[in-house]
Structure formats: C-alpha cells, structure tokens
Structure 1
Amino acid sequence: MGGDEFVVLVEQVKSTDDVVRVAELALDAVRAPVYLGGHVLNVSASVGVVDRPVEGTDAAELMKAADTTLYWAKADGRDRWAIFDADRHASDVSRYRLSGQLPEALARREFFVEYQPLVRLDDAVVIGTEALVRWRHPELGVLGPNRFIELAEETGAIAPLGQWVLIEACRQGRAWRDVHPHKPLLMSVNIAVRQIRDAGFVDAVKEVLAETGLEPEALQLEVTESSVMGSAGQPLQTLHALAELGVRIAIDDFGTGYSNLSYLRDLPVHALKLAGRFMAGLRAPGGPDQTDQEILSALIGLAHKLKLTVTAEGVETAAQATALRELGCDTAQGWHYGRAVPPEEVELKGRQ
C-alpha cells in the first residue's frame, strides 16, 4: 500500500486468534536482523488486526479500520499488534470531531466558567475559589474539562481558550472583592504547559489584571507537576516573572507526577495542591488508613518546611476534613464544601 505499509488478507478464519497468529508471524519475520555491508539492521513493525465477516463488509471501511488500528499499535509502543475495537474507534471519532469544533465553539461563546470554593481548614472560612471551564455543547450537553482540555492542548486551541478563562475568572474575582472588600478572596486558575512556554504570557497576564482591576496577589495560577518539575528556559523564566509580579503559583494534582520536592527549592512556587487520590485512604471503611496518613503527614510537613501552603483536593466527607485539619493541611476543596457552580450560586461561607 506504500513504501512501508502492507496489507495481509487472511481468509476462512475460525476466530480472531487465527488472524493474530498471522500478525505475530509477520512481526517475527520483520524482527529478524538484516545484515547489510557489514552492518546489522534491526527493524520492527506494527500491525492493526481487523476480523470481520465478509457479508456486509465494505472494502473501504475495512481498510480504514485496519489503518486506524495500525496507528493504535504505534501509539501503544510499536513492535506489537492491536485489535480493532468499535468503542475505541467511536471514541477516537468523537475526539476528532470535538477537536475540530473547538475554535468555532469559542467564537460562539459555548464555554462558561464555574467556581469551586477553597476553604481554610482551621475555621472553615472560604478564602477563594478555583475557576473550572465547561463546554455547553449543542449536541452533547455540558462537557467537563476532561473531555476537551487535552484536545485543546493538542490542537493549540488551549491558548485562546486559556486566555478567555483567565479574563472571565479575573473579572469575577474583581466583582467578588468589590462586594466583599474586607474579605480578600483568592481566584485560582489552571494554565497549560503551552501557555507558560509562550514568551508573551506574562504580558498577557499583566494586561488581564490591568483590564479587570484584580490585584496580582489575588490571582493564583495552577500548573501541573509535569510542566514545572525540572523546568528550564522559558517556563522557568515565565514562572519567576509571574511570581515577581505578585501572582501566586501552585502545583496542581501534586502526587500524580514526579512528586519530587527537591525541585521546589528553585521554583517560585507558593502552594501545593495534593491530588484527590490521596483522600482515598482517609475514607477507608475501618477508619483512615495509617500508611496514607503517614504519607500525607510527611508531604504536608515537608511542604511547610519549604514555606509552601498545602491544599487537599477531592475532600468529600467531614471525616476527611477533620483528618486533614489534624495533619496540619492548610486549605481544602471538594464536594464536602461545595461543587463547582455558576458564580451566582457560590456560597462564600465554609462548612465544618
């Protein structure tokens, strides 16, 4: 079919295993070393396996399915075979459609922002909110960020989308501070790797703050571990410039990536947000898991020694809140304190 693509048609098979055996034979044949001009060449291949009855099968659709499955094998690590899966294919098609719709959705104002309270554990006072973007899709309904943020990053749409979210959040943050002048609320906003790698991002943040009137110290930007651990070059310069501006920097979902606190010595980070999975041990049926408690205690203690505040995500019960408070955690968010809701529904009060 091309310079390095081949099709093998296997007829009269009794089961998919028969086709898989052919795929494995092909892979073994390609793996055999090639000796050429005194050199040894090692080659690998990837195989997409599709098993369908002849009746009702369209040749073009069959080839498309085989090609799709071939790329799954490549994406899964190469030098292997993958079997066509209709559900995975439908998911891929859906992702492809969504990625193509992102720019128009932003132009049509289909995105909106909801806010989840950030609560101080000592006294259950709301000290701020986290801005979470949603997509009101005309066909699929309201989509959470897990359905489209990764697509936006892959396609480059994350830059304009992230900028829009930042503006909306800062406007809302300024509005709340005007209503509650004696209660300085923090507005926390997620930013993507692509944004902090943009040399113009710091100026963009300055413009948003100037336009909305929100003080720099009232804005917290959340970045993932993978985007900052071992940072160098532009990302590191951007983070230092933002910190010098007065903006707080938080590491989001801490514990899902490198989890190496030594990196934090040289980064202008102010807060750690512990991943929600750390909360699982605090809601064990027989009481908090001792090992999980020790891990949380160590993380919180080390963070405090580095003069970082700690926020626990995914807090769902009063028992979890109590355990975190006893461990010295600073703030928390989760369904126990409130779900993400439109700004007019946000309760700027805490819950014990």
Structure 2
Amino acid sequence: MNERVQIEHALRTGLENNEFYMVYQPQVNDLNETIGFEALLRWNSHELGVVSPDRFIPITEETGLINPLGLWVMKEAFTQLKAWQDMGIPACFQGVAINISPYQFSQEGFVEQVLEAVSTIGVDPRLIDLEITEGLLVKDIPLVTSKMQMLKDIGIRFSIDDFGTAYSSLRYLQHFPLDQLKIDQSFIRDLTDESSSQVIVNTIVSMANHMQLSVLAEGVETRREKNILLTLGCTRFQGYHFARPLDKEAATEYLYKNTPMLVQSPNH
C-alpha cells in the first residue's frame, strides 16, 4: 500500500518533470527487414528511480492518470513517426504500434483526440497501428466497433495484443475492423518443449489467414523459436532475438540499416 501511494504521488508530477520517455522495439519479417516498431513507455522517476510499467500502468488506470499519460504517449510516438516519415519511409516499413488502454479507449473524446493529434502533427495515419486487448472487444460492441471504424476510415490499423490469453471472443472477431493478431509470448516460450503450444500457434495462424489478418509473434528470443514459427506459417516477429527496445536514435539507425534502400516518399 505504501508503494502504491508513493507511485501515485510520483506519477502526478512525472509528466510535468519530463520523467517519461519512449523506446521502440523492432518488428521484423522472415527476410529480417524492419516492418515496424512497437512504441513502449518507460519511466525514470526523480523520486523512485526506474519504475517498471508492470508496476505503474495499473495505477494510472485505477486513478485516471492513464488518460493524460496515454495522450502524451500517442503524441510522442506520432511525432517520432513523422520524423521518420520526413526522412523517407523504407518500402517494407508499415509503421508504429501503440498500446491503447481500455480505459483510454472508452473515454468519450478518444477518437477526436487521435484525429486531432494526427492532423496537428501531420503524420500519415496509414503508418499507425493501435494495439487493443481482447477484453475490450466484448464490452459495448456497437460503440467499440463505431470508434474503431471512424479511425479505420482514415487509414489507422488495429491489432489485438496478447492474443489467446484473455477471453477469446472468436465469434466476435468478424465484427471488428481488425488487421492483425499478436500471439502472446507465453505461447512462444513453450514452443520448443510443448507440442500443445505449437498446435495453438498453428490454429491462430490458420484462423488469421482465413480471416485475412496478419499474425505477429511476440517474445521471440531464439533462432529455434523463429524457425518453429516459420514452419507454422508465422512470418512476422518481435523479441530479443532481433533487438531489445531502442531509444529513438538507435531505432532510427536500426530502421535504415536493416531495411532495403528503396524508400517511399514522405507523402506515401
């Protein structure tokens, strides 16, 4: 309880003191080309030192602080994406994924916030991938669908994060304008030892193919895991085997060193 009170107090001044920053973990394809980044929030508190997202994100959701913090994350990621856009986007690069909390998504003005940020910053919305969780899809289905569709209409993509770990509302998937399923890393860790995990991954890939969704495996840490995933039909990966989360300078270097030289124009 004391730790929670400490974190909540420190959170309230963290944004004002510029204690938060973003890192970017590469997402690659079977040719080892960088196809995207996942934007990840980090916090180095003046008061508490480095605080893990697992410790502070739940508190931001309980207190409502997720809304200003989530908006800051979105604008920060959009701004970095616009910088890459202005440099010329490599041909295979599809954009940046940003985690959206169910609490943030459920706010009445969420869609308007996204539209305003896209317009103000000038980022190409087709380079934005918003990651949501399975649990969000079983709440107010008409409202969730409406919000997603308004953003989809300007080109924003949607992925389901940690797919397979929550209430898998498979019969609802067809109702939502989704683009990608992200296989949770818990299945990847068990790939080499448990045939059941291979069956699950194979089932997810097969289902996604039938629904014309792409699939990305999270938490890939070894070459063997990557090779097993390839045999199961998964060709998009994220994990320490390829790269740890990188600061924006290192991410920029990684992007332009690990992708073909052919680039899209900034207006693509």
Quick one: distance in 2 between partners of 1:330 and 1:244? 27
Q: Supply the AA of the counterpart residue of 2:83.
A: A
Runs of 4+ residues over 6 Å off in structure 1:
none
Alignment match of 1:342 (pick from 247, 255, 258):
247
Following the alignment from structure 2 to structure 1, what is the Cα–Cα distance between the partners of residues 225 and 168?
22
Amino acid of the residue matched to residue 257 of structure 1?
Answer: A
| In the alignment, structure 1 residue 153 sits paired with structure 2 residue 61 | yes
Distance 1:107 1:207 in 2: 22
1:280 corresponds to? 189
- Contact kept in structure 2, 1:282 and 1:319, CA below 8 Å: no
Report the counterpart of residue 332 of structure 1 in structure 2: 237
Structure-1 residue corresponding to 2:44: 136
Cα shift at 1:300: 0.6
Task: Give the C-alpha shift of residue 185 in structure 1.
Answer: 3.9
Specify the alignment match of 1:169 in structure 2.
77
Which structure 2 residues correspond to residues 1-352 of structure 1 after superposition, within 5 A? 92-120=1-29, 122-183=30-91, 184-284=93-193, 289-346=194-251, 347-348=254-255, 349=257
Distance 1:231 1:276, change over 3 A: farther
Shift of 1:233: 4.4
Deviation, 1:230, is 4.9
| Alignment partners' CA distance in 1, 2:145 and 2:107 | 11
Deviation at residue 262 of structure 1 after TM alignment: 1.7
Q: State the 1:155 CA deviation.
A: 0.3
Deviations along 1:312-345, one digit per CA (max 9) or x if unpaired, are 1000001111111121113110101111121111
Query: Aligned to 1:314, what secondary structure does the other structure show?
Result: coil
List runs of 5+ in structure 2 lacking aligned partners: 260-268
Write the distance in 1 (CA, Å) between the matches of 2:190 and 2:243: 21
Contact residue 199 and residue 238 of structure 1 kept, 8 A: no
- Indicate how the Cα distance of structure 1 residues 299 and 271 shifts in structure 2: closer, same or farther if over 3 A, else same: same
Give the number of aligned pairs: 255
The CA distance in 2 between the partners of 1:96 and 1:233, in whole Å, is: 37
Amino acid at match of 2:114: V
Alpha-carbon offset, residue 256 of structure 1: 1.2
Q: Given the two structures, how large is their TM-score scaled by the length of structure 1?
A: 0.69
Contact 1:196/1:239, CA 8 A, preserved across alignment:
no
| Maintained 8 Å contact 1:279/1:320 | yes
Comparing both chains, which one has the higher relative contact order based on Cα–Cα distances under 8 Å and sequence gaps of 6 or more? 2
Q: For the residues of structure 2 that align with 1:254 and 1:293, how far apart are their CA atoms?
A: 15
Conserved? CA contact 1:176–1:185, under 8 Å: no
Give the 3-state SS of the residue equivalent to 1:282 in structure 2. Answer: coil
Bigger mean CA offset, 138-147 vs 122-131: 138-147
Aligned to 1:75: none
Partners of 1:343 and 1:216 in 2: CA distance: 20
Report Cα offsets for 1:110-143 as digits up to 9, x if no partner.
11000000111x2111111000001111133222
Say whether the 8 Å CA contact 1:115–1:130 is kept in structure 2.
Answer: yes
Deviation at 1:105, TM superposition (A): 0.8
Deviations 1:146-187 (A, max 9, x none): 111110010000000000000010111111122233434411
Cα distance in structure 1, aligned partners of 2:59 and 2:112: 25
Alpha-carbon distance, 1:234 to partner: 3.1
Contiguous gaps of at least 5 residues in structure 1: 1-91
- The answer to whether the Cα contact below 8 Å between 1:173 and 1:185 also exists between their aligned partners in 2 is no
Q: Give the TM-score of the pair, scaled to structure 2.
A: 0.90
Q: Hey, what does 1:38 align to over in structure 2? A: none
Cα distance in 1, alignment partners of residues 213 and 6 from structure 2: 41
Q: Secondary structure at the match of 1:256?
A: coil
For 1:194-223, what per-residue CA distance to the aligned partner results, in whole angstroms no more than 9, with x for missing partners? 221122111111111112221111000001
Structure 1 or 2, whichever has the larger Rg, is 1
